Amino acid sequence: MTPEDAYRDALAWFQANWDPQLPLRDWWQRLADSGWGFPTWPQQWFGKGLDHAAAKGVARARREAGAFSAPLGIATMMVAPTLMEVGTPEQQQRYLPGIANGTEVWCQLFSEPGAGSDLAGVQTRAVRDGDEWVVNGQKVWTSGGHYARFAILVARTNPEVPKHRGLSFFLIDMDQPGVDPRPLRQMTGDAEFNEVFLTDARARHQNLVGGLGDGWSVALRLLNHERESLDADADGSGIMGDLDLDAPAGTFVGADGRNSDDGTGPMSMAQGDGAAELLTTLIAGAGRRGDAVTRQRVADIHSRIRIARYAGGAMPPSAGKLASVTLMRKVRDEALELLGPAGMLSGTEAPLAGAVTEMALWTPGLSIAGGTDEIQRNILGERHLGLPAEPRVDKDLPFKDLQQPSIRG
């Protein structure tokens, strides 16, 4: 299906089915059943089997119809695609419906205070106990950990082998004794991130994804999906959060037909059509339409958006993420320059109700999320350009023989 065909068919469906008075849970279920909520997903799992270019046509149709988007977050961007690839039939049947209709929110238990960007260096342990695994350790930067129902977890199941080979990937229930999420206040004022302490928490053996010891390869698959979701022309207009599923779906749509802000507003205004519209508004407000320097900088941003749109899904995920982060920085810098001193203000009395300031404070985190910029460049150099790998003295040593910092207390 071509992008225009997808746009036409989706627009007809949204115009016929969007009802702002429908409870959010019913609207999301209707979207899931139709396949238009996640058009790139397989047809047997709530999708249409479309490519990324056609999916952008669907997103354009939804925005034009003024309809609220499908659920957005770790569950839909990362967990579902990974389960479709390597999950068991039982895992797919149990978890994909709740992800597609937004009734089950997920979080990600990957990063640790003592491992930094070295995911393979995680110390959280999982020890087999019959049909379950007992998990002990500490995770950090867990988005939504304080309200998520389930989590994906990377834990060490074998310290006797080198660090990349002793990891396993689990699906774990967050609503159980021994799971203690503690929100962390961010510089935006929000507290979306958490540190999570795991003390004798339990994961069922049937919720092991991939084989025992295959956690590294499964995690790489999932991180690729995360990076693909951060391309420079992504549709970032959805909402991640703990939403009231009984509220009318129209509650979450702004007056201009876009989804209202609840954590992802900064992303939607820093990439794709959202960035173009933001800069157009700010240029007009600053009276700078005739300024040659401003026009050149904005033309550079527009060119990057067009290139990302043309490239579609052809770029390696790491290249797409780097392009996205670079674009967002440029949008941030230009938006603040256009606002002048008013760019230092925040809150409802600031220009655009402080949305630009929030975006500026939020943007630096994207250089870390999903793997730092430096890691993305290493991936591109080693895996795509064939450059020599960085020397690693710990590559072949058993994990138990590596010196580990003590971070739990």
Cβ-Cβ contacts under 8 Å for 393 (sequence gap 6 or more): none
Distance of alpha carbon 316 from alpha carbon 124, whole angstroms? 30
Cα gap 152→171, rounded to integer Å: 5
Active site residue 358: no
Quick one: tokens of 346? Answer: 């925040």
Helix 215-228, helix 317-339: angle, nearest 10: 40
Cα 41-164-155 angle, rounded to 5 deg: 70
Closest CA to 19 of 181, 248, 192: 248
d(CA 8, CA 31): 17
Asked if 325 contacts 367 with a C-beta cutoff of 8 angstroms, the reply is: yes
Other beta carbons less than 10 A from residue 281's beta carbon: 15
Residue 330 sits at φ, ψ, to 5 deg, of -65, -40
Q: Which of 192, 226, 228, 334 is catalytic?
A: 226
Active-site residue set: 226
